[in-house]
């Protein structure tokens, strides 16, 4: 799946704090359900959102979409060997919203 190879060109706007405006369509009006992502999809997502250097940590730890959805704040801050600043942004602006989106889409 090459869902995220053109994420920057899909109308998603990166905000100054490193977060992304995820309300813009990527696939069928939303980001595809992360539960279906493979390791490469997770890596491509973080590369496309401006975390190219940190994306390799997800690859090294073989984090797929299901694993990503189970990650806690502590997992991201300590388990991936990522610097604190980027790790906080990754969790708060990406992992947590993806988890929330997944829960909402599966609750209905």
CA distances from 92 to 15, 32, 74, 78, 98 (A): 13, 19, 12, 15, 10
65 contacts 37 by C-beta, under 8 angstroms: yes
What is the mean pLDDT, run by run of 10 residues, along the chain of 108 residues?
Answer: 42 43 47 93 97 97 98 97 97 97 88
Q: What is the pLDDT of residues 3-33, one digit of tens each?
A: 444 444 443 444 444 444 433 225 656 678 9
The per-residue pLDDT for 29 is: 61
Name beta bridge partners: 14.
20
Domain residue extents for the chain: 7-17+25-107
Query: Quick one: fold of 7-17+25-107?
Result: DNA polymerase; domain 1 (1.10.150)
Query: How many residues appear in the chain?
Result: 108
Max Cα-Cα span within the chain = 37
């Amino acid at each position: 799946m090459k869902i995220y190879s053109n994420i920057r060109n899909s109308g998603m706007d990166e905000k100054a704090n490193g977060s992304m405006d995820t309300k813009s369509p990527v696939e069928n009006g939303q980001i595809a359900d992360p539960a279906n992502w493979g390791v490469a999809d997770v890596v491509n997502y973080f590369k496309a959102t401006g975390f190219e250097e940190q994306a390799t940590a997800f690859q090294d730890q073989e984090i797929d979409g299901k694993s990503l959805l189970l990650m806690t704040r502590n997992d991201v801050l300590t388990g991936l060997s990522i610097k604190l600043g980027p790790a906080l942004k990754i969790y708060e602006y990406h992992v947590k919203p993806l988890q929330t989106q997944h829960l909402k889409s599966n609750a209905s």
